């Protein structure tokens, strides 16, 4: 099975692109959503978080004490690194589980905001990046999340610059509100099916 890593900076529309692939019947793994999920479902991870950040990391009902975790990792790169080092293997386990369930699919997509930053792109056969001009991306996020331009700019600054990601990406979809996205997805879908057939 072919593994395609899908990424894009904030406001690029990578989730929209992922949904189009889903409509075509392609299994999509949303790494960011799964990261939140495994923190309350993966027993190995829960145990590790309690040991590292204290038993008060979870409430009695099993839900995550986000305020407690945020207070530790916010503005503390070393502690955030510790948390990520615990969460990443659990996300990989969840991906393996989806891959096993979708074993008859020609290819699978792993959607992740930090695909390149985390190094997880190395486990993919190909990488696909959704690109859009910065002013478009900022406007989309301001509209979507109701936040200030300044806040979006700060979030953008924490991500690897688009130009660097473009150098690492095998394929690029342009989502600039001028070029249609669906035909670009369809073209790549056929390309990935052909590549997957060559693996058989």
- What are 116-146's pLDDT values in tens digits? 988 889 999 999 999 999 999 999 999 999 9
d(CA 173, CA 132) in angstroms, rounded, equals 9
1-27+106-200 and 32-101: same fold?
Answer: yes
- Extents of the domains making up the chain: 1-27+106-200, 32-101
d(CA 185, CA 187) in angstroms, rounded, equals 5
- What's domain 1-27+106-200's superfamily in CATH? P-loop containing nucleotide triphosphate hydrolases (3.40.50.300)
If you classify domain 32-101 with CATH, what class do you get?
Answer: alpha beta
The reported pLDDT for the residue numbered 32 is 87
What's the pLDDT tens digit per position in 47-87? 999 999 999 999 999 999 999 999 999 888 899 989 989 99
pTM of the model: 0.87
Task: Look up tokens 């406007």; give the residue.
Answer: 139
């Amino acid at each position: 099975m072919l593994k395609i890593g899908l990424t894009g900076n904030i406001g690029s529309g990578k989730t929209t692109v992922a949904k189009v692939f889903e409509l075509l019947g392609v299994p999509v793994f949303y790494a960011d959503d799964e990261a939140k999920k495994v923190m309350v479902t993966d027993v190995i991870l829960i145990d590790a978080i309690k040991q590292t950040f204290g038993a008060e990391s979870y409430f009695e009902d099993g839900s995550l004490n986000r305020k407690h975790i945020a207070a530790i990792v916010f503005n503390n790169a070393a502690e955030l690194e510790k948390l990520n080092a615990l969460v990443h293997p659990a996300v990989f386990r969840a991906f393996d589980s989806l891959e096993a369930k979708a074993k008859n699919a020609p290819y699978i997509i792993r959607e992740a905001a930090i695909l390149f930053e985390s190094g997880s792109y190395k486990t993919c056969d190909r990488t696909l990046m959704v690109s859009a001009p910065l002013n478009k991306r900022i406007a989309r996020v301001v509209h979507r999340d109701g936040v200030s331009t300044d806040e979006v700019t700060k979030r953008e600054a924490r991500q690897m610059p688009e130009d660097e990601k473009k150098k690492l990406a095998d394929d690029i979809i342009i989502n600039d509100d001028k070029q249609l996205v669906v035909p670009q997805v369809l073209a790549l879908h056929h390309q990935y099916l052909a590549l997957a057939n060559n693996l058989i």
